C-alpha cells in the first residue's frame, strides 16, 4: 500500500534518549553496521537503500567527473531490479542529501530532483510505502525503527509518479534512451525472426513428410 507522504509526528529525543537507543540498536545489529554517538550529540551510522528505478540512469566515467559540458563518456543503462546500496551518513543528513550522496557514489549524472526516497514499513500485517519529505532524516528513522529491514527499509524511486516529464532530461540522456530503445527493438525483432524461422522449418519438414512418395 502506497501512502502519499510521511505523516508520522517527529519525536525529538534528548541526548540521553539517543544514547540509550543507540546502545539498544547496536546490541541488536547482526551485520556489524553499528551507530556511533559523537560528543556533540550527532550520531553516524549506515542505511541500506534499495533501487527501484523504472527508467535508465546516466552514469559518468571517472575521467569525466567535474566537467560541465555533456560528455561522450556518459552511458545510460537500466539498473538491475532490487539492487541494494549501503551509505554511511550522519543524523544531520536530510533525505535530499542522502539522494545526492547515493547518486554521487555511483557516478550517476542525472539530476537528483528526478528521484525521491521512500520508506517501506510493516504495520498491522500490511506493508506501507510512503515518500519521505526532503526535511526528513533517514538515520533518525533507522534508529527509531531498529536495525531490522523487515520493520523499515528505504527505497529510491523516480520522483515522477505520473506521466514522464521528458523535458527534465538533457539531450544526451534522451539520445541514450533512444539508443537503448533501438537495441531493445532490434533484440525483440531478432527473437521474433528466430521463432518464425523455427516454426517455418517445422512446417516445411511436416510438408515433406506428407508429400513424400509411397
Q: Does 47 lie in the same domain as 152?
A: yes
Q: Locate all alpha helices (DSSP H) within 43-170, ordered by sequence.
A: 95-105, 138-145
Q: Does 137 lie in the same domain as 107?
A: yes
> How many CA atoms, within 13 angstroms, populate the side-chain half-sphere of residue 46?
14
Asked if residue 9 is part of any domain, the answer here is no
Cα–Cα distance, 117 to 101 (Å, whole number):
12
Q: Does 123 lie in the same domain as 38?
A: yes
Asked if residue 92 is part of any domain, the answer here is yes
- Domain with residue 51: its CATH number is 3.10.20.90
User: To the nearest 5 percent, what fractions of the chain are helix, strand and coil?
Assistant: 40, 25, 40
> How many CA atoms, within 13 angstroms, populate the side-chain half-sphere of residue 206?
6
Asked if residue 8 is part of any domain, the answer here is no
Q: How far apart are the first and last CA of the chain?
A: 68
User: For position 61, what pLDDT does the model report?
Assistant: 65
Q: Does 182 lie in the same domain as 150?
A: no
Q: What are 152-168's pLDDT values in tens digits?
A: 999 999 875 555 556 66
Cα–Cα distance, 105 to 60 (Å, whole number):
11
**Domain C-terminal end among 161, 178, 203:** 161
Q: Does 131 lie in the same domain as 35?
A: yes
Q: Does 185 lie in the same domain as 141?
A: no
User: For position 11, what pLDDT does the model report?
Assistant: 65
User: For position 14, what pLDDT does the model report?
Assistant: 85
User: For position 78, what pLDDT does the model report?
Assistant: 78
Low pLDDT (below 50) residues in the chain:
1-4, 6, 63-70
Report pTM.
0.66
Q: What is the dihedral of CA 194, 191, 172, 57, to 10 degrees?
A: -150
Counting every residue written for the chain, the total comes to 214
Run of H or E residues at 58: strand 57-59
Q: Does 54 lie in the same domain as 135?
A: yes
Q: Does 155 lie in the same domain as 180?
A: no
In order, the DSSP letters of 128-143 are EEEEPPTT--HHHHHH
In contact, 108 and 57? CB cutoff 8 Å: yes
Asked if residue 131 is part of any domain, the answer here is yes
Q: Does 172 lie in the same domain as 155?
A: no
Asked if residue 7 is part of any domain, the answer here is no
Q: Does 187 lie in the same domain as 105?
A: no
Q: 172 lies in which domain range?
A: 168-211
Domains: count for the chain:
2
Asked if residue 119 is part of any domain, the answer here is yes
Run of H or E residues at 148: none
Q: Does 115 lie in the same domain as 31?
A: yes
Q: Does 78 lie in the same domain as 26?
A: yes
Nearest C-alpha neighbor of 112 from the set 121, 125, 102:
102
Asked if residue 21 is part of any domain, the answer here is yes
Run of H or E residues at 198: helix 171-211
In contact, 6 and 130? CB cutoff 8 Å: yes
List b or e across 38-76, with b for residues whose CB sees 16 or more CB atoms inside 10 angstroms. Answer: eeeeebbbbbebbbbbebbbbbbeeebeeeeeebeebbb
Asked if residue 64 is part of any domain, the answer here is no
Amino acid at each position: 500500500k502506497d501512502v502519499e507522504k510521511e505523516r508520522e509526528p517527529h519525536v525529538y529525543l534528548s541526548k540521553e534518549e539517543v544514547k540509550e537507543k543507540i546502545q539498544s540498536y547496536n546490541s541488536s545489529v547482526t551485520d556489524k553496521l553499528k551507530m556511533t554517538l559523537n560528543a556533540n550529540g550527532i550520531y553516524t551510522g549506515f542505511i541500506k537503500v534499495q533501487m527501484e528505478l523504472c527508467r535508465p540512469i546516466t552514469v559518468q566515467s571517472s575521467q569525466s567527473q567535474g566537467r560541465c559540458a555533456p560528455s561522450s563518456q556518459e552511458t545510460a543503462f537500466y539498473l538491475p531490479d532490487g539492487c541494494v546500496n549501503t551509505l554511511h551518513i550522519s543524523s544531520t543528513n536530510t533525505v535530499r542529501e542522502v539522494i545526492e550522496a547515493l547518486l554521487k557514489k555511483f557516478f550517476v549524472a542525472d539530476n537528483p530532483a528526478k528521484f525521491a526516497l521512500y520508506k517501506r514499513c510493516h504495520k498491522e500485517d500490511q506493508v506501507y510505502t510512503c515518500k519521505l519529505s526532503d526535511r526528513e532524516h533517514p538515520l533518525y528513522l533507522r534508529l527509531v525503527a531498529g536495525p531490522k529491514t523487515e520493520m523499515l527499509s528505504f527505497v529510491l524511486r523516480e520522483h515522477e509518479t505520473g506521466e514522464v516529464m521528458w523535458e527534465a532530461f538533457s539531450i544526451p540522456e534522451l539520445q541514450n534512451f533512444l539508443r537503448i530503445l533501438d537495441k531493445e527493438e532490434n533484440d525483440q525483432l531478432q527473437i521474433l525472426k528466430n521463432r518464425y524461422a523455427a516454426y517455418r522449418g517445422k512446417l516445411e519438414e511436416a510438408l515433406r513428410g506428407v508429400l513424400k512418395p509411397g
